[in-house]
A = this chain, B = another copy of it.
Amino acid sequence: MTAGGRGGLAAALEQVGQRWALLVIAELLDGAQRYGDLQRSLGVPTNILATRLKELQEAGVVVRVPMSHNVLAYELTDRGRGLAGAIAELARWGEPAEQP
């Protein structure tokens, strides 16, 4: 039953195909970040960021980890880090063509 890919791709896009989702994950690939840091470094609206982080947690891509008391951060799960390859490919594809 090789799902072929169409189904897998559709499933992937349902989980991380929303606007800003892959950008948030790409930021978290550099390490855990706090809410405000993600907001400032990405320039994403606060309501969208809150919604995405909630959805990504339900998808098992991101987890909320407490640091010191009163301070918490968001971190990728193993499943979330599994997107590193796809993100790298997309990023390389999107880079302006450079002639050596």
Residues of B within 8 A of A23 (CB): 6, 9-10, 13
- Copies of the protein in its oligomer: 2
Separation of A17 and B87 alpha carbons in the complex (Å): 12
Q: Which residues of A does B touch, CB under 8 Å?
A: 1, 3-15, 17, 19, 22-23, 26-27, 82-83, 85-96, 98
A50 to chain B, nearest CB (A): 20
A75 to chain B, nearest CB (A): 18
Separation of A90 and B87 alpha carbons in the complex (Å): 9
Separation of A96 and B1 alpha carbons in the complex (Å): 11
A85 to chain B, nearest CB (A): 5
Q: Is the CB of B92 within 8 A of A8?
A: yes
Residues of B within 8 A of A13 (CB): 22-23, 90, 94
